[in-house]
Amino acid sequence: MLADVVEYLTCPVCRAGLDLGDRVLRCARGHAFDIARQGYVSLLTGSQAPGTADSTAMVAAREAFLGAGYFGPLSEAVAGACRTGAKVVADAGAGTGHYLAGALDRLPGAVGIALDVSKHAIRRAARAHPRLGAVVADVWRPLPVGDGTVDVVLNVFAPRNGAEFARMLRDDGVLVVVTPTSRHLEPLVERLGLLSVDESKERRVAESLSGHFVETGRSVHEFGMTLGHGAIEAVVGMGPSAWHTEPEVMRRKIIELPETSNVTASFRMSIFQPAL
């Protein structure tokens, strides 16, 4: 709920603190932001187009696939990486709030801030956990979170803004970054012509955080999944390949696959601390 996290939010116009009113967030200078009936608030401002936002179909696919538990081992790993005793966890690029909700389940008393540029995703995130506040925000702009107020920042398959993440984190905070490895979704990548992971992905992650963070841990999490046609359509539809394929064309390719396929899930998780 926004009431749980409003003390950590800031006005995107003037950076002042925000107070919760009757279905509105308002700062002392009078800037006001309506709370949607679904319980989230948009703190995007200006006419500049935001970054790429997940569509309704992508969000629905992600909710279906993650809700079925296929990435359960990854959710557990992300939750386990959160600092013991953390009180405030922010998820930058939270999507449906799945990973943030899992972290909050492991952190009694902690609250979570879900940040995503997609209103479709944030609507789902708003109901992902009772101690979660959902905010529409663009990771490429100053995020509406106070300086040094967050214990853990999660960044799972999402863009990284090193300067903003470092600003939000406490000096002893941690940043948890998850990216797919080149083995992710084998053999579907080849059979369905999906986008493959860029060989320079790891280098680009390091460069995006350079000067702001120091990597203190790294691990690879890999596990097998047995997926039917519906689950394969969902995992394709929720990822970057969804932007580059026609749904009907992909559906025909999936129908040609065996009734079930053994698929590899493979992720790299890195832990960073602020470079003080």
Give me Rg for the CA atoms of the chain: 19
- Separation CA 53–CA 251 (nearest Å): 23
DSSP E strands: which ranges in 1-103? Answer: 18-20, 24-27, 32-34, 41-42, 88-92
Mean pLDDT computed over 213-225: 96
- Provide CB contacts within 8 A for 101, sequence distance 6+: 112, 128, 129, 132
**Residue ranges for the binding site for Zn(2+)?**
11, 14, 27, 31
What are 180's two structure tokens?
A: 């797919």
Q: Among 132-141, 157-166, 188-197, name the one with the lowest average pLDDT.
A: 188-197
Q: What is the pLDDT of residue 50?
A: 62
Grouping H, G, I as helix, E, B as strand and the rest as coil, residue 40 is coil
- Separation CA 214–CA 220 (nearest Å): 18
pLDDT at position 48 over 70: no
Would you say domain 2-45+53-274 falls under CATH 2.60.40.10? Answer: no
What are 227's two structure tokens?
A: 């997926």
pLDDT at position 37 over 60: yes
> How do residues 151-172 score in pLDDT, each as one tens digit?
999 999 999 999 999 999 999 9
Give the start-to-end residue ranges of the domains of the chain.
2-45+53-274
pLDDT at position 35 over 80: yes
Q: What is the pLDDT of residue 51?
A: 60
- Provide CB contacts within 8 A for 100, sequence distance 6+: 89, 91, 94, 112, 114, 125, 128, 129, 132, 154
What are 143's two structure tokens?
A: 């995020």
Closest C-alpha to 116, from 154, 168, 70: 154
- Separation CA 221–CA 207 (nearest Å): 22
**Residue ranges for the binding site?**
11, 14, 27, 31, 71, 96-97, 184
pLDDT bin (cut points 50, 70, 90) of residue 206 is: confident
Grouping H, G, I as helix, E, B as strand and the rest as coil, residue 49 is coil
Mean pLDDT computed over 222-239: 96
DSSP H/E element including 164: helix 162-168
**Residue ranges for the binding site for S-adenosyl-L-methionine?**
71, 96-97, 184
pLDDT at position 56 over 70: yes
